[in-house]
């Protein structure tokens, strides 16, 4: 919850605002409840970091994601979560072997509008 730059910013703010609090257990409980109550789960992972980690982490306890799309510019060889491909998620049980899945290597700011446009219903020409 508090790793990286976001964690540092929150900690810095907390230095002068000690009444400020985040209920990390509530966040985890709400995410776990979503995952465990779902018949199927899927995730669109843009980059990596905390949101990717928590999503795939909780899904491993239900047998893995049923659908997974990873979009990343990070290299696989550096060992970062951002660079981890779907096959790494499958090896840990975070994504089902039978899942419909893809890793897309590219810039999300260019790719995401194309993906959304392709997913929208098409209008019939008159």
Residue 1 confidence (pLDDT) above 60: no
Nearest to 60 by CA among 85, 80, 81, 32: 32
Residues annotated as catalytic are: 94
Lowest-confidence range among 4-13, 27-36, 102-111?
4-13
Across-strand partners of 72? 105
Residue 2 confidence (pLDDT) above 60: yes
Q: Show Cβ contacts of residue 10 under 8 Å, excluding neighbours closer than 6 positions.
A: 2, 22
CA pseudo-torsion sign 28, 25, 33, 112:
negative
| 0.85 exceeded by pTM | no
Q: What's the whole-number mean pLDDT along residues 61-75?
A: 94
Give percent of the chain with pLDDT exceeding 90: 63
Nearest to 94 by CA among 55, 67, 60: 60
């Amino acid at each position: 919850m508090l790793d990286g730059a976001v964690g540092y910013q929150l900690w810095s703010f907390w230095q002068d605002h000690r009444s400020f609090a985040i209920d990390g257990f509530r966040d985890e409980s709400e995410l776990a409840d979503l995952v465990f109550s779902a018949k199927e789960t899927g995730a669109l992972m843009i980059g990596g970091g905390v949101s990717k980690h928590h999503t795939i982490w909780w899904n491993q306890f239900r047998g893995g994601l049923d659908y997974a799309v990873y979009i990343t510019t990070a290299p696989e060889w550096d060992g970062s979560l951002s660079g981890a491909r779907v096959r790494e998620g499958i090896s840990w049980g975070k994504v089902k072997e039978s899942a419909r899945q893809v890793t897309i290597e590219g810039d999300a700011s260019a790719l995401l509008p194309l993906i959304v446009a392709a997913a929208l219903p098409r209008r019939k020409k008159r």
